[in-house]
Amino acid sequence: MSTETQGVSPNPDALRAPLRRVMIVDDSEVDAELLRVRLHDQFPGLQEVCWVGDGTVVLERAEVFDPDLVITDYHMPGYDIIGTVSALRRRWPDLPVLVMSGLVGEEAAIQLLKAGASDFLPKSRAERLAMVIDRELLEAGARRNATQLRAALEREHSLYQAIVDEVQAGLWILSPQGLIERTNRHGAQMMGSAPTTALEDFAAIEGWWADSGQRIESHDWPGARAILVGERTAPRLMRVRNFAGEWRHFSCGAAPLRAGDGSSLGAVVSAVDLSAEVDLQDRLRQAEARLRQLSLNQSLQHERQMARVARDLHDNLGQVLSLLKLHLGSAARIDMPIARRQLEIDEALPLVDVALSRLREVCNELLPSELSDFGLFPALTSLCSAAARASGMTVSASEAGSPQAIEPALQLGLFRVAQQALTNALRHAGAGAVQVDLQWQAGEVSLTVSDNGIGFYPQAPRAPKQQGLRGMYERMELLGGALTVESSAGCGATICARLAIGGLP
């Protein structure tokens, strides 16, 4: 490259707009015509000159004429030149406005320039007009180019920010010195604040690696490694306390940014908020642990129930069968007199009825036949009648709403809750009356058991053998329902079980 071409400024002609239309504001038509002739002589490309002799219509005429240059006189009757120049400058910031007049004071010239006039030229110096116009057109072109450049830069900035904001992740752009130059709205939301690039704000952020639990040191943050070492960091899960004091889980990585010549442009840090996913995983793990515990408790309850059934069969049915065996064995003896044999048989027959009755009781307790044969409410009615006969209490059952078909497991669950609640009322409440209510609603069925007994504190600790209330809670939880207990000392107790109709969870 030759020395003549190095550092050459752009060609001024490239910045100068062509002079096509000029508006002359002067109350003297003769002066305006002389100026028009001079302009046509000195600017061959001039297409049109508009003369305005009334200073009150300058703005209106300029809107229609759209001039490239305004040349205005100073002394005109009723002409507010300061206001007109200011209005022209506000409306067309890059329009050259040249004041050409007779002698005016220095203070007036300064006021004109402050109002926005491009220059002041005495009419006695008209030979300098072409030079002044050339200079003003050049400066106006430069202003227009600067305005266009600023507009283009602002548009590029807005476009870049809009693109960055549309990225479905938090983004932070770092300078080569590690300063945060830009962030996007997702990053601001993740950090719990308005978008910020203040490095001192981020210096207070605390973070721990999720896999190791170790604190993240200042030089170990992905952005710092990208700047200091030039290292691309794969996304890694971290636990961060943001500006709002919230603990969040981010998958964060970074990459260095380099120019074509390899020089550093900084780094970009990206992060995805996985707090909801991590929280869901934690809740799933807790739910799985809870389900395992519920299953274990159900198994233990099942084992206890089987042990109780075994005791009932041994203590009740076993005794009856043993007596029955004695009577039948005695009757089967060869040397037994006929009268005695008949007596043994007569005493054995009622024992068969007793054995069958006790067997039915055990079977009914394991799986009520009314429940499968007639439905939930008839089974509850039969349960209440049996409880009333066994205790002497008043036990009533009622049903409201339109019965709906529900799965057998849900029926059995509600029946077991009613069974346990009645058992608790009979054994512990000292109640004189118990009310069992079954209510059907759209998409839901509820069972309420209320007594007028001594009441209790539901939160009080219970002995290992007193787990009936806990069993009811767990049974409803396994079925996707809910159990509520309301009671206090001396005020009875109300137990309500609710289940959604439509299938097990």
Q: Transcribe 111-164 into DSSP letters.
A: HHHHHT-SEEEEGGGGGGHHHHHHHHHHHHHHHHHHHHHHHHHHHHHHHHHHHH
Percentage of the chain modeled with pLDDT above 70? 85
pLDDT of residue 7: 42
Helices 408-424 and 376-391 meet at what angle, rounded to 10? 20
pLDDT of residue 258: 92
pLDDT of residue 202: 63
Which residues, other chains included, contact 377 with Cβ-Cβ below 8 Å and sequence gap of 6+? 397, 399, 403, 438
**Residue reference for tokens 């840090």:** 269
190: left (phi over 0), alpha (psi -120 to 50) or beta: alpha
pLDDT, one tens digit per residue, over 400-412 is 988 888 888 888 8
pLDDT of residue 15: 47
Strands (E), 47-90: 48-52, 69-72
pLDDT, one tens digit per residue, over 11-68 is 544 445 678 999 999 999 998 999 999 999 989 889 999 999 998 999 999 999 999 9
Amino acid at site 43: F
pLDDT of residue 81: 92
Q: In the chain, count of helices (H) and strands (E)? A: 16, 16
> Which residues are paired to 440 by β-bridges?
445
Nearest to 187 by CA among 176, 174, 178: 174
Residue 178 φ then ψ, to 5°: 90, 5
pLDDT of residue 121: 86
Q: Around 226, how many Cα atoms within 13 Å sit in the side-chain half-sphere?
A: 28
pLDDT of residue 181: 83
Reported as a pLDDT band with limits 50, 70 and 90, residue 329 is: confident
More confident residue, 320 or 365: 320
pLDDT, one tens digit per residue, over 166-193 is 888 899 888 888 888 888 888 888 888 7
Pair 375, 412: CB distance under 8 Å: no
Distance CA 423, CA 391 (A): 10
Radius of gyration, CA atoms only, the chain = 49
- Start-end of H helices in 216-265: 222-228
pLDDT, one tens digit per residue, over 240-265 is 988 888 899 999 999 999 998 989 99
Provide the token pair at 387. Answer: 């409880």
* Count of beta carbons in the 10 Å neighbourhood of residue 379: 24
pLDDT above 80 for 332: no
pLDDT, one tens digit per residue, over 67-85 is 999 999 988 888 999 999 9
* HEC sequence for 197-222: CCHHHHHCCEEEECCCCCECCHHHCH
Domains and CATH numbers, the chain: 12-146 (3.40.50.2300), 167-273 (3.30.450.20), 276-366 (no CATH), 370-505 (3.30.565.10)
Distance CA 384, CA 437 (A): 11
pLDDT of residue 416: 85
Pair 249, 238: CB distance under 8 Å: yes
266: left (phi over 0), alpha (psi -120 to 50) or beta: left
Percentage of the chain modeled with pLDDT above 90? 24
Which residues, other chains included, contact 488 with Cβ-Cβ below 8 Å and sequence gap of 6+? 455, 456, 457
Reported as a pLDDT band with limits 50, 70 and 90, residue 209 is: very high
213: left (phi over 0), alpha (psi -120 to 50) or beta: left
Which residues, other chains included, contact 297 with Cβ-Cβ below 8 Å and sequence gap of 6+? 470, 471, 474
Using DSSP's 3-state secondary structure scheme, residue 371 falls into helix
Reported as a pLDDT band with limits 50, 70 and 90, residue 96 is: very high
pLDDT of residue 367: 62
Q: Are strands 21-25 and 48-52 parallel, antiparallel or unpaired?
A: parallel
pLDDT, one tens digit per residue, over 110-142 is 888 888 898 888 888 888 888 989 888 888 888
More confident residue, 373 or 219: 219
Average pLDDT, the chain: 82
Distance CA 136, CA 132 (A): 6
